[in-house]
């Protein structure tokens, strides 16, 4: 059994295939496994708590894991060790989520492209057909991750509290979420995964995309992201397409095209979840 795993900070998708590429189990979803945020004990608990995989742990021969927080060596090796301790007969590979986005969005193995992630977090890289190139080291959700779910969640809460949100949306926002100050602060400062908590609010923006407020908010975040991240590759985007992966990207497709036109680059593929593309990629490699 081969496991192909795509994880963000919020959720994690698992697909199992055999050596012929046939799917063995229904797609499994667990909590996100970000080793830059979660400790070994918590990672172990989440993985061992996946009841669908318990009977098959010893059957797993390979684990191809792609995830948020795996871009630097220390957290990547931490998660690799946890996976090896659970799937004792498996060869384990752990890669950053940016590589998952590349393999899920490019049209061929040697295609060059700039690839962006807009999900719970955000990132941007250039793939030259062989290697990934990043020109900005991510410092996490507190000061980076522009145009991500947690970025937009933060902006929505700020606009609500600073009375910058239209009244009709403010009433709707308060009806959908617990916006008591103590509750918000508890989740931000006392609970794990505050970035994932913030990202839950972004759904409100997507559901209200027809409003001028939400549309302007989306485009404002995209302009910041493109200025800070995509324009690191201003020479490459003159020649190569810019692909996007992640739920924020998927539901903001029209706004991405509008803002891309402002900056003068071509938008390529936009995929919601990279897992399907990863299954195709690894099946062809079997």
Residue-wise pLDDT tens digits, 144-166 = 999 999 999 999 999 999 999 99
d(CA 71, CA 67): 8
d(Cα 151, Cα 141) in Å, to the nearest integer? 8
Residue for token digits 């989306």?
218
pLDDT at 276: 81
- Looking at residue 7, what is its pLDDT? 92
165 within a domain of the structure (yes/no): no
Q: Supply the pLDDT for residue 17.
A: 93
The Cα–Cα gap between 14 and 19 comes to 16
Give every residue of the chain whose pLDDT is below 70, as ranges.
Answer: 286
Residue 36 lies in a domain: yes
Query: Is residue 46 assigned to a domain?
Result: yes
Distance from C-alpha of 118 to C-alpha of 157, rounded to nearest angstrom: 19
Total domains, the chain: 1
Domain span at residue 21?
Answer: 2-100+275-285
**Per-residue confidence (pLDDT) for residue 148, from 0 to 100:** 97
The answer to the question of residue 30 being in a domain is: yes
pLDDT at 40: 95
Q: What residues does 267 pair with on adjacent strands?
A: 242
Q: Does residue 20 form part of some domain?
A: yes
pLDDT, residue 285, reads 75
Instruction: Please check whether residue 240 lies inside any domain of the structure.
Output: no
In a domain, 261, yes or no: no
Where residue 64 sits, what CATH number does that domain have? Answer: 3.30.420.40
Encoded tokens for 259: 């803002």
């Amino acid at each position: 059994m081969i496991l192909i795993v795509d994880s963000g900070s919020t959720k994690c998708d698992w697909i199992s295939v055999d050596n012929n590429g046939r799917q063995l189990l229904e797609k499994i979803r667990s909590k996100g496994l970000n080793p830059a945020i979660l400790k070994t004990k918590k990672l172990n608990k989440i993985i061992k708590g996946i009841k669908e995989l318990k009977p098959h742990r010893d059957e797993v021969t390979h684990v191809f894991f792609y995830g948020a927080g795996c871009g630097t060596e220390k957290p990547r090796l931490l998660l690799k060790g946890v996976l090896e301790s659970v799937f004792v007969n498996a060869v384990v590979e752990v890669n950053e989520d940016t590589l998952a986005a590349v393999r899920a969005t490019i049209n061929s193995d040697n295609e060059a492209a700039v690839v962006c992630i807009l999900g719970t977090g955000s990132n941007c890289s250039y793939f030259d057909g062989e290697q990934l190139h990043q020109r900005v080291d991510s410092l996490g959700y507190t000061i980076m991750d522009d145009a991500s779910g947690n970025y937009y969640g933060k902006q929505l809460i700020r606009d609500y509290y600073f009375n910058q949100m239209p009244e009709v949306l403010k009433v709707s926002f308060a009806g959908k979420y617990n916006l008591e100050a103590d509750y918000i602060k508890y989740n931000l400062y006392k609970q794990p995964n505050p970035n994932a908590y913030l990202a839950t609010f972004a759904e409100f923006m997507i559901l209200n995309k027809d409003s001028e407020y939400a549309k302007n908010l989306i485009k404002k975040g995209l302009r910041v992201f493109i200025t800070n991240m995509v324009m690191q590759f201003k020479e490459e985007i003159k020649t190569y397409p810019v692909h996007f992966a992640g739920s924020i990207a998927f539901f903001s497709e029209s706004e991405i095209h509008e803002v891309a036109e402002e900056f003068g680059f071509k938008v390529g593929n936009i995929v919601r979840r990279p897992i399907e593309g990863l299954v195709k990629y690894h099946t062809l490699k079997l």
